[in-house]
Amino acid sequence: MSPASAPLLDVAALHALIDEIGQQDRPLVLLDVRWALDGSKGEHDHLAGHLPGAVYVDLGTELAAPARPEAGRHPLPDPADFAATLRRLGVTEGSRIVAYDDTDGGPAARLVWMLRALGHEASVLSGGLHAWNGPLESGPVTPEPGDVPVRDWPADRIASADEVAELAASEEAVVIDARAPERYRGEVEPIDPRAGHVPGAVNLPYAGNLDPERRFLPPEELRERFEAAGVTADGEAVVYCGSGVTATHDLLALEAAGFPRVRLFPGSWSQWSADPERPVAVGPNPNP
């Protein structure tokens, strides 16, 4: 996989991409996905300072449909709604897209996974805003509208709750819980109806994909991490988190490490735990 098409991009590769695309008739779309569940991060941060030309996208309203128990806290948006968002952001069929945030890459990963699932060439800026070593701009950015068509979410990139239950029970795939260990073990649950995890799931917190500078680990180190949890080159992995956001962090790390057969459980724990018929497991990771 070339750096230009990889799901993760470091700042040196971004500078090279800016120079390369500047010599071509091809748009580079930079997207600012700063967001926090408590509202402490958002468009106000973008207006104060952002990568030159970057357009703001709101995760809560544009990268998710309204919450509902049967679909979770951040369901994937309706395909027509997401296409309208991409057109507002200036995305065209030939766009090269790089997204960033200023935390751990989780919000940006959500957008990049959605884009890649629909066939767009998109990457997360590893290290996010903190890794950027160029100038910043302030104020809003309004691009020329894009022209992307409506595309349905591909069935081979997502898994339903029933599929997750079947795969975890049959061991036909590695089901990965990307949440913090204490939530996986069922010791705390600050948001969702019940504490614990999907029976049979292994815990690989997404934060483990990062180095102390909040940059993604090299692909070979990511590969070792996932192999230790039982993921194989020809096997399948399905990832969930609390609501389908930070699970995409693990999904992009898996892809960067060379594991192509990966799927998202979009409803994640917020959907699973809201259904009283779904069993819940507690306790330590069986494959730490």
Q: Give the pLDDT confidence of 80-104 residue by residue, as tens digits.
A: 999 999 999 999 998 999 999 999 9
Query: How many other C-beta atoms lie within 10 A of the C-beta of residue 111?
Result: 28
Mean pLDDT of 178-206: 97
Q: Is 41 a catalytic residue?
A: no
The catalytic residue among 31, 55, 129, 241 is 241
Q: What is the value of pTM for the model shown?
A: 0.96
Is the pLDDT at 224 greater than 90? The verdict is yes
Is the pLDDT at 107 greater than 70? The verdict is yes
pLDDT at 22: 67
